[in-house]
Amino acid sequence: MSARRLVLIAVALASLLACGTAPSEPVVISPPPADKARLYVYRDATVYGSQVWTEVSLDRVPLGSLAPGTVFYRDVAPGTYEVEVRSDYLYPGQFKTLALAPGSISFAKIEEQPSWGKSAFGFKGTTFVVVIVAPAIGRAETGMLRLVPG
């Protein structure tokens, strides 16, 4: 194949990819209704980790799913919940307990454990953990992520 043809194919492919990406608008962190608590759940954008979606649950009730670089939120009744994430392997301290007060805003970050579940024989699955982060950090980290319905 000629160099010119390769360049044309590369330009066409880049043009197609550019059409499919929308610019990110900053995620606006807003308060929940007075009788609810708001929980933001997110994953950082990464090119090195797994690109698979993973499901997040509260007390084993599915909340939504996340891909890298996305965030969603739910307004829930105040209370204490176990925040869980679907994972191919168990990991110590993988799930977290979170107390949600009326009117509060909380952040749960889903992180991948990149070498957990892998061996010398190759990839064996993806392991995720829940990390509860301080509101100031959560606000900063979710700022340019893509808001999804979950």
Confidence (pTM): 0.78
Q: Classify 121 as helix, strand or coil.
A: coil
pLDDT tens-digit readout, 68-115: 999 999 999 999 999 999 988 888 899 999 999 999 999 999 998 876
Q: CA 88, CA 113: separation in Å to the nearest integer?
A: 11
pLDDT tens-digit readout, 115-135: 666 655 666 678 899 999 999
Predicted confidence band of residue 23 (pLDDT cuts 50, 70, 90): very low
Number of domains the chain contains: 1
**What is the CATH number for 42?**
2.60.40
Burial of 39 (0-12, 13-18, 19+ CB in 10 A): buried
Q: Could you tell me the residue range of the domain that residue 139 belongs to? A: 26-147
The answer to whether residue 63 is domain-embedded is yes
